[in-house]
Structure 1
Amino acid sequence: MSRAVVYDNFGGPEVLELREVPEPHAGPGEVRVRVTVAGLNPMDWVIASQPEVAARFGVGAPSGFGYDFAGVVDEVGAGAMGFAVGDRVHGGAMGRAVADFVVVKTPSEAAEPIWRTPEGIGDEVAATLPVAGMTAAAALSAIGLRSGDTLLVGGAAGGVGVFAVQLARLAGARVIGTAGPGTFGFLRRFDVEPVAYGPELADRVRALAPEGVTAAADLFGIETAETALALGVPPERISTIAAGPNPPGGVRATGGFDASPDAMGRISDAILAGAITVPIAATFPIGQIRDAVALQAGRHVHGKVVITLRPGLH
């Protein structure tokens, strides 16, 4: 037997339970990963609480929980390609990442990718990369971000935001980030100019950038996208990740699955070079999954929340 976080019915953190489940094993073309750390994302609790969203990701109840994981390959099925027992890896497993073991296919699929974890990157950091890192890369790629842009980022202090603002600065863009006043100091650490979200956002952005904004990435809802449109930014230079399939004004909806194949490598290289910092806002043992998800769902986390399954292993 092994452990997994599961839920029988859709709902809030209270529906999540840590249970003993049959231990999975790698079949043909699959590898099994002994999970050390799982990273949490807003989409995890949205999927677990909203059946209509879960259906778009192919998830129904009952289900496991979570997507991002990092760990060590400990079984390799017949015909599996590219990995060996003992390889450190990180990746995505829809609706089953917060568990002692995950089984994934090789070669990896776009919906459930798996990468080797480079030496020098710990599992806590690796477990934050599949959703947040790839989504940030996709949001910037969708708008053709380039050096010299003045970029408005909505939700700049969140899990995706901390990657997006740093990638944008590396690309040579000026970055203005929306956030609550309590996060302004946090954002300035990344050379971001913070601005309070809420009514009259456009006026505050104009005061910061009287010469105008040239691109925008809304990582929270639609407020930043609508503000960018009002400021005259062309819709093709505005991306959203949380506005659903029909974002306002013809702006570009995107997500991590749209990231370029080399995006993870570029992010990992930047982390190893010290050009990107991954702030871990909170770490919880698997037995405190409800507390971890409640914190994540509060939408006031500065950085990433991770779940440890085997502390100290890597």
Structure 2
Amino acid sequence: MRAMTYDRFGGNEVLSQTEQPLPKVGPGEVLVRVRCAAVNPVDWKIMAGGLRDLMDTVFPVVPGWDVAGVVERTGIDAPEFSEGDEVIAYARKDYVHGGTFAEYVTVPVRCLARRPSALSWQQAAGLPLAGLTAYQTLTRLGTKEGETVLIHNAAGGVGSLGVQIARALGARVIGTASPANHDRLRELGAEPVAYGDGLAARVRETAPDGVDVVADFVGGVLDTTLEVLGEGGRHASIADDSVTGSGGQWMWVRPSGSDLGRLAALADEGRLTVRVAEEFPLARLADAFAASQAGHVHGKIVVTP
């Protein structure tokens, strides 16, 4: 099969298109024919060696953890899915090796969910990692109907999904973003506030009694978070582990087919959508990574083999 691979840590120059053997389908796994895979910053950070102290790496590596595709074959003890099923997954495994930027990828059944029919293949591929990050952050914080949620970086890939998920949970949402993105946040159901100096005061103007939940999807905002939390408020960050010293949670997204199924249901109910910014062919994965690294893309970057 065709796959994008790297055989050493480094920048985008270490990527190349190669021929790899079709992956073996182990017990509790399915083989997925990739229709579309999505880029996340963790993909190129891993390639640069950013997680070498956390996860084992087996070279050559096929990068990528987000996928939308069709079940090609099922392994032993995988009765939940059948050949031809359309699926999505956050396909992170226990070590770094066989990822989604290829024609085929094996995925543990525990990571899989049915593809929501309301989303295109490109949109569906962009949902798993970012969507699960937002969903697990908000649900582990116990977000419930009638509460006020502040989302830092609400116009980003995770934040924009977080706004929609919090709204689906029945919460009022205040979202930080640059003024250029305020109309987009209003469309998603959030009340926008501009980030930068004076942010805490602006949030307090919008929520004088403070907020119940803060989801930090950018980092470097702990002081603001603590200033605006109301009595009994909860907070978490995906980018700043120092929040644990102030009673917050440091989040690391977990693969979960059941959680992903809930997000797919929200999409099919018309309460959750994914914005796609750019699409690249498989051979141009380095260009897709470069677009992600530039940090100015509004929406998901996807790759199609």
TM-score with structure 2 setting the length: 0.88
Aligned to 1:190: 188
User: What is the aligned-residue RMSD (CA, Å)?
Assistant: 2.4
Task: Please say which of residues 244-253 and 129-138 is displaced more in the overlay.
Answer: 244-253
Q: Distance in 2 between matches of 1:258 and 1:37?
A: 18
In the TM superposition, residue 291 of structure 1 has moved relative to its aligned partner by: 1.6
Cα distance in structure 2, aligned partners of 1:118 and 1:178: 29
Q: In the alignment, is the contact (CA less than 8 A) between 1:222 and 1:248 conserved in 2?
A: no
Residue of structure 1 equivalent to 2:161: 163
The equivalent position to 1:73 in structure 2, one of 71, 74, 87, is 71
In the alignment, what sits opposite 1:102? 105
Question: Which shifted more, 182-191 or 73-82?
Answer: 73-82
2:116 touches 2:267 (CA, 8 Å); kept in 1? Answer: no
Task: Tell me, in whole angstroms, the C-alpha distance in 1 between the residues paired with 2:47 and 2:176.
Answer: 27
Q: 1:234 to 1:102 in 2, by over 3 A?
A: farther
Q: Pick closer, same or farther for the CA change 1:204–1:57 going to 2, 3 Å.
A: farther
1:88 maps to 86
The one-letter code matched in structure 2 to 1:155 is N
1:24 CA drift (Å)? 2.3
Q: Say whether 1:115 aligns with 2:121.
A: no
Pair 200,125 (structure 1): closer, same or farther in 2 beyond 3 Å: same
* Unmatched runs of 5 consecutive residues or more in structure 2: none
Unpaired runs of at least 5, structure 1: 310-314
- TM-aligned CA deviation for residue 164 of structure 1: 0.6
Deviates more, 1:70-79 or 1:126-135: 70-79
Equivalent residues of 2:209, 2:230 under 8 A apart = no
Q: Indicate the larger mover: 244-253 or 9-18.
A: 244-253
Q: Please say if 1:264 is aligned against 2:263.
A: no
Cα distance, 1:131 vs structure 2: 0.9
The worse-fitting range, judged by mean Cα deviation, of 290-299 and 196-205 is 196-205
User: For residues 29 and 204 of structure 1, do their structure 2 counterparts lie closer, same or farther at Cα, with a shift above 3 Å needed?
Assistant: closer
Of 144, 147, 150, which aligns to 2:145? Answer: 147
Instruction: Call closer, same or farther: CA 1:58–1:188 in 2, change over 3 Å.
Output: farther
- Written as runs of structure 1 = structure 2, the 5 A alignment for 1:1-314 is 2-51=1-50, 53-59=51-57, 62-94=60-92, 95=96, 96-105=99-108, 108-109=109-110, 113-223=111-221, 225-233=222-230, 237-244=234-241, 247-257=244-254, 262-309=258-305
Partners of 1:222 and 1:295 in 2: CA distance: 23
Q: Which moved more, 1:17-26 or 1:54-63?
A: 54-63
d(CA) in 1 for partners of 2:241 and 2:11?
A: 21
Q: 1:160 aligns to what SS in structure 2? A: helix
**Alignment partner of 1:189: what SS?**
helix
The 1:220–1:50 alpha-carbon spacing in structure 2 relative to 1, beyond 3 Å, is farther
Which piece of structure 1 moves more, 299-308 or 64-73?
299-308
**Are the counterparts in 2 of residues 222 and 240 from structure 1 also a CA contact under 8 Å?**
no
Alpha-carbon offset, residue 98 of structure 1: 0.8
The number of residue pairs the alignment matches comes to 300
Residue 284 of structure 1 contacts residue 307 of structure 1 at CA under 8 Å; is this kept in 2?
yes
Say whether the 8 Å CA contact 1:32–1:73 is kept in structure 2: yes
- Provide the identity percentage: 41
Matched residue type, 1:30: E
| Mapped partners of 2:49, 2:198: distance in 1 | 31
Question: How far has the Cα of 1:244 moved from its partner?
Answer: 3.8
Check conservation: 1:183, 1:302, Cα contact below 8 A.
no
- Bigger Cα displacement from structure 2, 293-302 vs 161-170: 293-302
SS at match of 2:211: coil
**Shift of residue 139, structure 1, vs aligned partner:** 0.9
Q: Distance in 2 between matches of 1:265 and 1:54?
A: 31
Greater share of strand residues, 1 or 2? Answer: 2
